[in-house]
Structure 1
Amino acid sequence: MTANTHSNNVILYGRWERPRSSGLFGRTWGETLFAGGVIVSVILLRLFTNSWPLALTVLTIGVAIFIPLIIRRNGRSGLELIAMRFQFWKGARKGENIYAGGVFGVIPGAARMPGIQGDTRLYEYELRNGDRFGLIHAKARDHYSVFLDAQPQGQERVEQWQINAWVHNWDLFLANLGTVQGLVGCVVVIESVPDNGYRVREEVKRLVDPAAPEYAKRVMMETATERVSARVRNEVRIQLTFSRQRSADSAEVADQGAAIGRVLSSIVDRAVAAGLSARTISAADLCVAAARAYRPELTRELEAMAGAGEHGDLRWDMVGPRGCKGEWDSFVHNGYRSVTWEMSAAPAGTVAHDTLLPLLAPRADLEHKRVAVVYRPHGIADAVRMVDADFKDALAAEQAKTGVGSAAASLRVDNTRAARQEQARGAGLTRFGLMVSLTAPRDADMPTLAAEVEGLGSASRLTLQRMWGGQDSAFAGALGLGIVLPEYASINRRVSA
């Protein structure tokens, strides 16, 4: 990503490119090699067996695979869509998309979370300064995740130069993550939560002097109650996921937590420099966030407890739904229906710092909305190799195309050249994606609400598509509670590419 200064000191950002390899006739190298392999196989079979039926059979099979491979729909190949449909059908036939929790449920435990979240465990450790932080261990991938509560400063009555500095510092924050040993990914979740004013009132109670006059205390409480006019607020958390730390004394979770805690303090300092009032999140607060997502009917009670600084007896094996079902187009849980979208294409052209504002702003008609931005920084060595390979591939594609295709290829050359130059100056290279999740009562008008979300995506210059066939996993990935969704892909990455 590069930045250009606008005439009114607003910086525009862009030049993102999806890495790809260009083969013959506009196809990727994988598709080109597959087609060449089929043709060579047919010729050799004809020469050595002298059998036209056998050669035609191989050719027919190759064409049947090649055509779905080259057909693209919303960034996915036809072969990938067929595999997704087959996997969903196979799982639904076995009943794997239905979950029954609770004491008498099929899954043992009080109410564990379903799917890929079900194999996670929650622990809590302490930093050197005394701050507590929750750590989620995803056993399936041996990943360890810690979390930051990172409320942005906001841009009201802030000079443009200060906003530009914050964006630049956030860029440095992401670039520095590429140097952190064992970092798998960073997920930033902006979650809309119904606000009943409990937190504000409890904070006012804490600040008011008990010895103050009754009239003054009454005025403070009434003022606080009147100011809670917004019924939806945003909460922001950052998930940092690590693989097993080689610097730890052993593979035990406690030793891994100690090793991650040693680097977490410096990461918090970098987040503060990016304009975020960052602090670590405790295990109890993570339980509240998970329960609020899977059991939205408890939001009012959870908000009341959190406002009073209490969490009751809430445990990690109690936050899941009593029952849920993963459908092809949605995820049904505890009388609510959730739909998750993914970004199929980044914004075309350049954008300003507030491009995502329509999608991120809290709205009363979309009380339970969640936007998750997934960053996967490359290490320095991988970044150098990738930008060089992308630049060489773009040059080769430009020389092989004419007309309109040549113009697009030239633009790609410019973008990859800029990325190569900036990486040489110390910039980082990061893969990113975005997911949007919406939860509403099961009897709500979901088609209308879904159209609203897709409209907000268009206003933010994003192309959103529903994550068909994987709504339960997509919901878990958009929570930002220990899951880096690309690491759980069930389709071979070469097919996806």
Structure 2
Amino acid sequence: MSALSYYVALISWRRARRHGVTTYRRLLLPQPYALDLPGVGAASTLIKVADPTSGTAVGVVHGRDTDLMSVTTLLAPGGSLMAPTSTVRGAVRTWGDVLAGMSTDEQIKGASVTVQITPGAGEALADDVKKRVDPSAPQLAKSTITELVGTTPRATASVAAWMTVTVDPNATVNPPTDLADKVGEALRVVDSLDLSGTGTDVHRRCTDVDVRRLVRSAYDPSVFHEHPDRFVDLSWGECGPVAADDGWTAFAHDGAVSVSYVLQEMPRRVIPYSVLLPLLSPGRFQRRITLSYKVLDPEQGEAVLEREISNAENRADATAQVKGRAKYSQKADFERANKAAAAAAQGAQVVDWTLTATATATRPEDLDAARQDLERAVKATRGIRLRPAYGAQGPAFATGLPVGYNPLVS
């Protein structure tokens, strides 16, 4: 981000704050806005539909301003650290095939994969171990596992993963005319995606209760462990916060405060598949990591790569004219752009993507500690560079939630 862009964003944000746009109060707003979510989720609405294939309810989020549909799937990711390297590479290739399949479907506008890690106090681990202890086990083994459970409560965490696919049901030869047909078309498109072999298992499509629970527990982490029946009667507007303040470097919502970082630069070296492990490891605070994707069609991808080649060559030539030679980093950029163009010419797909990380503290005084905890995890990745989402904490917070918002989809 250049200094000019930074100060333009700062001035725009201050103007918005002066007009009260960055402040949300649900109970004080007149109807019908009292029933809307804040910020980027204001134009969304939740629709409960019956899936004819499974007979269960499915929650579909409809964007009233864009007419896009978002369907969320609960995932059960498998561990890869102890898996053979060949298995992991095969899963990565399969995921690449899934993204390539998205590029050939004009109705799929984007997708995002979110992993949410909520630290536990140890009760879940203790209850699970208590059920698994064999009464006939040696006393030494039972005492060891009891001591382990009692001394490492912070090592436990609840991990939830989901994938949200944004679909344009109207991008077809015969676009549906009513809302019911649009929802059915969106479900048909999402059902065509096959995630088998990608290293994760599909748990189920998110029901309307699942969507309400994910959104409500993000704005109010104190209800994360509540029974699902508590969210059945919530309206879509009630899933959001009662009050929220979108600050320059933090987002306050109900009784919690969050800080979000966005991708600035990936490492210039080859990275291992475990590069995100520090970000996905349990910490002191709830953390949500989101990978957002937008797969470009072959023509768009070719144009992007040609533009990258031209830009890299122009930068190297400009530096060479001033200093006598181009920088090694500029030469490396040019070589990488050429390699990417060669791969695209052989059938590879070009993907526009970004990474968003959010840490949430349940007490305002813990905000600095949550920010430090997140920054340490980012540094532990050894190469991935993230920066605070200046003036966009609210949208960055909502990126990982199933509210129909994808920063790469206009």
TM range (shorter): 0.7 to 0.9
Q: Which amino acid is 2:98 matched to?
A: F
Partner residue, 1:391: 309
Partner residue, 2:326: 405
Partner residue, 2:367: 446
Q: Does 1:119 align with 2:39?
A: no
Give runs of aligned pairs for residues 51-130 of structure 1, distance below 5 A.
Answer: 76-102=1-27, 105-106=29-30, 108=32, 112-130=36-54
Q: Equivalent of 1:335, from 242, 246, 255?
A: 255
Q: Equivalent of 1:143, from 51, 68, 85?
A: 68
For residue 261 of structure 2, give the secondary structure of its aligned residue in structure 1: strand
Q: CA, structure 1 residues 451+352, in 2 after alignment: closer, same or farther (shift >3 Å)? A: same
The answer (yes or no) to whether the contact 1:101–1:108 under 8 Å persists in 2 is: no
Give runs of aligned pairs for residues 181-200 of structure 1, distance below 5 A.
Answer: 181-195=106-120
CA distance in 2, matches of 1:183, 1:343: 23
Can you list the C-alpha shifts for 1:74-104, whole angstroms capped at 9, x where unaligned? Answer: xx233322221122111111111111113x5
Q: Does 1:472 align with 2:398?
A: no
Give runs of aligned pairs for residues 412-491 of structure 1, distance below 5 A.
Answer: 412-460=333-381, 461-487=383-409
Q: Which amino acid is 1:253 matched to?
A: L
Q: Equivalent of 1:176, from 96, 101, 118?
A: 101
CA distance in 2, matches of 1:197, 1:442: 20
Q: Equivalent of 1:284, from 194, 209, 214?
A: 209
Give runs of aligned pairs for residues 283-362 of structure 1, distance below 5 A.
Answer: 283-301=208-226, 305-306=227-228, 311-362=231-282
User: Percent sequence identity over matched residues?
Assistant: 22
Can you list the C-alpha shifts for 1:336-376, whole angstroms capped at 9, x where unaligned? Answer: 1111111111122110000110011222x12x211111111
CA distance in 1, matches of 2:338, 2:390: 36
CA distance in 2, matches of 1:240, 1:447: 33
Partner residue, 1:378: 296
The answer (yes or no) to whether the contact 1:245–1:260 under 8 Å persists in 2 is: no
Query: Could you tell me how far 1:203 is from its partner in structure 2?
Result: 11
Partner residue, 1:262: 188
Please say which structure displays the higher CA radius of gyration.
1
Partner residue, 2:140: none
The answer (yes or no) to whether the contact 2:24–2:245 under 8 Å persists in 1 is: yes
For residue 274 of structure 2, give the secondary structure of its aligned residue in structure 1: coil
Query: Could you tell me how far 1:440 is from its partner in structure 2?
Result: 0.6
For residue 405 of structure 1, give the secondary structure of its aligned residue in structure 2: coil
- How many residues are matched? 388
Q: CA, structure 1 residues 277+196, in 2 after alignment: closer, same or farther (shift >3 Å)? A: farther
Superposition TM-score, scaled by structure 2 size:
0.85
Q: Does 1:233 align with 2:186?
A: no
Can you list the C-alpha shifts for 1:96-138, whole angstroms capped at 9, x where unaligned? Answer: 1111113x54464766421121221111334442254321112
Q: Which amino acid is 1:151 matched to?
A: A
Q: CA, structure 1 residues 98+396, in 2 after alignment: closer, same or farther (shift >3 Å)? A: closer
Q: CA, structure 1 residues 434+472, in 2 after alignment: closer, same or farther (shift >3 Å)? A: same
Q: CA, structure 1 residues 132+422, in 2 after alignment: closer, same or farther (shift >3 Å)? A: farther
For residue 256 of structure 1, give the secondary structure of its aligned residue in structure 2: helix
Q: Which amino acid is 1:274 matched to?
A: T
Can you list the C-alpha shifts for 1:452-495, whole angstroms capped at 9, x where unaligned? Answer: 2112112112111111222122211232431012446xxxxxxx
Superposition TM-score, scaled by structure 1 size:
0.71
Q: CA, structure 1 residues 199+291, in 2 after alignment: closer, same or farther (shift >3 Å)? A: farther
Q: Which amino acid is 2:397 matched to?
A: F
Q: CA, structure 1 residues 162+383, in 2 after alignment: closer, same or farther (shift >3 Å)? A: same
Q: CA, structure 1 residues 132+426, in 2 after alignment: closer, same or farther (shift >3 Å)? A: farther
For residue 165 of structure 2, give the secondary structure of its aligned residue in structure 1: strand
Q: CA, structure 1 residues 265+199, in 2 after alignment: closer, same or farther (shift >3 Å)? A: farther
Can you list the C-alpha shifts for 1:156-179, whole angstroms capped at 9, x where unaligned? Answer: 432111111111111211122111
Q: CA, structure 1 residues 87+295, in 2 after alignment: closer, same or farther (shift >3 Å)? A: same
Query: Could you tell me how far 1:181 is from its partner in structure 2?
Result: 1.6
CA distance in 2, matches of 1:107, 1:326: 22
Partner residue, 2:141: none
CA distance in 2, matches of 1:202, 1:310: 23
CA distance in 1, matches of 2:317, 2:256: 54
CA distance in 1, matches of 2:276, 2:409: 25
More displaced 10-residue stretch of structure 1: 80-89 or 393-402 = 393-402
